[in-house]
């Protein structure tokens, strides 16, 4: 790191200089940490830029702290902290470190919040209603050694069978299957759909800690691409999602899946599709060419979902899942961040409220303190708690009569 140190003048006095390299790196870290703590929803920092700038410190504060510490130690080793200017930058680094500690503390609040949401949605005695075998498989301690850097998501005991075709649209009709390397039989099934606002995204980007965790527990997880804008519209997206379900029900047993127990999950736009699939099961209007296929699901998990109309009512008011809430909806788990600048949390609140008013099945709704959009990109303390909640919710659903029972 280039830095200016205190120099000695001809009179022997020290000239105070600023360690500019250390200053720039610290100011940058301070700015993104401030945005993580208080994301901006409107100019001068647009919502999308606020999300991108604050993503790393908000989801992996330990990594951000490690970078800040490394920069500080390097400056100390070069003697850059001896001057008043260097000490001023060090003070800013200490304040930034305290901000990152606050971010980490806020992440740790996800566990209690999710526990309360499960209790509120499933009942105070929900744990006692779990099948003993399923309850024994729930995780009680987080893998803390994997969390600090937030990027270690793969597991050696899981294999990914990639790029299987489920349609004729090339790479947009490809899916991956995650399963335990021992290839057990009769595991429950999860179909997952990525986010990206219907114009971007891919099947192996988000929610990987969830996919790998469940696969390591004997699940068979299917993560799929689908057609995107501008070459496809809402009905095309929804048709693709239902094709993935139909493919999984037809071929899942080839990979060890019990397709009688099929959960569906999605992030952002993927949650929009998931909610539609859950509320329009086996509806032939959304299954052109495969009207007779079984596209029913056992339960739905929506992560930071969008629940409004598709791009300004372009294809009718029925493009919002709110238009399809019904008494026979399956159980839902809805998780959203209260600091989401891309998809404000109010939409999730409204959808969860409408579902609770209409559905006979439980609706579990949790707002994660400080969570932004795309909180499932990293193997963070926050998302690991969400993974545990998904697994607990699924265990409760599977413990009910007629839902498949233990794997």
pLDDT of residue 316: 53
| Cα gap 41→305, rounded to integer Å | 17
List Cβ neighbours of 362 (8 Å cut-off, separation of 6 or more): 121, 122, 331, 332
Q: Does residue 340 have an active-site annotation?
A: yes
| Of 93, 66, 92, 85, the residue nearest 3 (C-alpha) | 85
Q: Is 87 helix (H, G, I), strand (E, B) or coil?
A: helix
Q: Does residue 309 have an active-site annotation?
A: no
Please tell me the CATH code under which domain 111-399 is placed.
Answer: 3.40.50.1820
Q: Where are the alpha helices (DSSP H) in 301-380?
A: 345-358
Model confidence, pTM: 0.92
Preceding omega of 44 cis (within 30 degrees of 0) = yes
Q: What is the DSSP string of 310-321?
A: STTTTT-GGGSG
Active-site residue among 373, 376, 380, 399? 373
Structure tokens at 22: 């250390």
pLDDT tens-place values along the chain, 407 residues long: 444 444 444 444 445 577 999 999 999 999 999 999 998 776 556 777 888 899 999 999 999 999 999 999 999 999 999 889 999 999 999 999 999 999 999 999 999 999 999 999 999 999 999 999 999 999 877 665 555 555 667 899 999 999 999 999 999 999 999 999 999 999 999 999 999 999 999 999 999 999 999 999 999 999 999 999 999 999 999 999 999 999 999 999 999 999 999 999 999 999 999 999 999 999 999 999 999 999 999 999 999 999 999 975 555 558 999 999 999 999 999 999 999 999 999 999 999 999 999 999 999 999 999 999 999 999 899 999 999 999 999 999 999 986 655 54
| Cα gap 96→103, rounded to integer Å | 11
| Cα gap 70→83, rounded to integer Å | 19
| Cα gap 407→393, rounded to integer Å | 15
| Cα gap 194→178, rounded to integer Å | 15
Give the domain ranges of the chain.
Answer: 7-108, 111-399
Q: Does residue 373 have an active-site annotation?
A: yes
Active-site residue among 340, 376, 384, 388? 340
| Cα gap 242→234, rounded to integer Å | 12
pLDDT of residue 11: 44
What count of Cα atoms within 13 Å lies in the side-chain half-sphere of residue 241?
A: 35
Active-site residue among 268, 275, 380, 399? 268
Beta bridge partners of 164: 175
**What's the gap between Cα 301 and its chain centre?**
11
How many residues make up the chain in this entry?
A: 407
| Cα gap 241→225, rounded to integer Å | 9
């Amino acid at each position: 790191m280039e830095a200016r140190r205190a120099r000695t003048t001809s009179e022997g006095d020290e000239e105070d200089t600023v360690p500019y390299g250390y200053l720039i790196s610290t100011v940058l870290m301070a700015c993104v940490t401030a945005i993580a703590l208080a994301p901006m929803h409107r100019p001068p920092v647009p919502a999308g830029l606020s999300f991108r700038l604050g993503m790393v410190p908000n989801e992996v504060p330990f990594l951000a702290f490690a970078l800040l510490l490394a920069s500080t130690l390097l400056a100390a080793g070069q003697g850059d902290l001896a001057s008043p200017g260097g000490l001023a930058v060090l003070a800013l680094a200490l304040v930034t470190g305290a901000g990152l500690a606050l971010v980490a503390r806020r992440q740790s609040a996800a566990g209690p919040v999710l526990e309360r949401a499960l209790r509120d949605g499933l009942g105070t005695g929900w744990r006692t209603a779990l099948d003993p075998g399923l309850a024994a498989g729930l995780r009680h301690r987080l893998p803390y050694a994997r969390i600090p850097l937030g990027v270690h998501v793969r597991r050696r005991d899981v294999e990914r069978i990639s790029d299987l075709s489920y349609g004729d649209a090339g790479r947009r009709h490809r899916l991956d299957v995650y399963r335990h390397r021992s290839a057990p039989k009769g595991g429950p099934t999860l179909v997952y759909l990525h986010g990206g606002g219907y114009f971007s995204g891919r099947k192996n980007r988000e929610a990987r800690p969830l996919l790998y965790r469940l696969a390591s527990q004997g699940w068979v997880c299917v993560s799929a691409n689908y057609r995107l804008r501008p070459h496809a519209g809402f009905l095309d997206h929804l048709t693709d999602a239902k094709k993935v379900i139909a493919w999984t029900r037809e071929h899942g047993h080839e990979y060890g899946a019990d397709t009688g127990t099929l959960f569906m999950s999605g992030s952002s736009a993927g949650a929009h599709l998931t909610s539609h699939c859950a509320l329009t099961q086996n509806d032939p209007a959304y299954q052109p060419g495969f009207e007779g296929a079984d596209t029913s699901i056992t339960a739905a998990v929506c992560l930071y979902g969008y629940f409004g109309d598709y791009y300004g009512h372009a294809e009718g008011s029925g493009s919002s899942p709110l238009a399809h809430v019904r008494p026979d909806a399956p159980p839902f788990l809805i998780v959203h961040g209260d600091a989401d600048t891309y998809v404000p949390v109010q939409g999730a609140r409204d959808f969860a409220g409408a579902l609770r008013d209409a559905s006979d099945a439980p609706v579990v709704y949790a707002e994660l303190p400080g969570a932004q959009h795309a909180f499932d990109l990293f193997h963070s303390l926050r998302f690991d708690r969400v993974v545990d909640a998904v697994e607990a919710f699924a265990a409760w659903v599977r413990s009910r009569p007629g839902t498949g029972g233990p794997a």
